[in-house]
A and B are shown apart, each in its own frame.
Chain A
Amino acid sequence: MSVGPRLHRRSALALATAGAVAVTGCDDGSRPTPLATPTTDPDVALVDRVLRQLALAQRVAEANGDQDLAALHRTHIEALDGTPATGTVPLKSAPGGLAGAEKRLQKQLERAALAAASGALARLLASMSAAVSQRLA
Chain B
Amino acid sequence: MTETDALQTTLAAEHAAVYLFGVLGGRTSRSATPKLFDTLSAAYAAHRARRDHLVREITDLGAEPVAAEAAYEVPRPLETPAQVERAGLDLERSCAATYAYLVANTVDDRRRWAIEALNETAVRELVLRGTPETFPGADEYADR
Contacts and interface: CB of A to CB of B under 8 A. Distances in A.
Interface of A: 1, 3-4, 6, 72, 75-76, 78-79, 106, 110, 113-114, 119-120, 122-124, 126-131, 133-135, 137
Given A72-B134, A128-B135, A123 B100 contact: yes
Interface residues of B, number: 32
Interface string B107-126: 01001101100110111011
Contacts of B122: 130-131, 133-134
A110 B103 CA distance: 11
B141 A110 contact: no
**Among all A-B residue pairs, the 8 with the closest Cβ atoms:** A119-B104, A130-B122, A127-B138, A123-B104, A130-B136, A134-B132, A3-B101, A126-B103
Interface in B50-109: 96-101, 103-105, 108
B5 interface: no
Contacts of B104: 3-4, 119-120, 122-123
Contacts, number: 91
Given A79-B141, A133-B122, 4 more contacts: A114-B111, A123-B101, A131-B122, A137-B126
B138 A119 contact: no
Chain B interface SS verdict (over half): helix
Interface of B: 96-101, 103-105, 108, 111-112, 114-115, 118-119, 121-123, 125-126, 132-138, 140-142, 144
A6 B35 CA distance: 38
B105 A126 contact: no
A121 B142 CA distance: 15
Contact of A127 (B100, B126, B144): B100
B138 to A, nearest CB: 4
B98 A1 contact: yes
B125 A134 contact: yes
A135 B125 CA distance: 12
A130 B144 CA distance: 19
B136 A131 contact: yes
B118 A127 contact: yes
Nearest to A109: B115
Contacts of B141: 6, 79, 124, 127
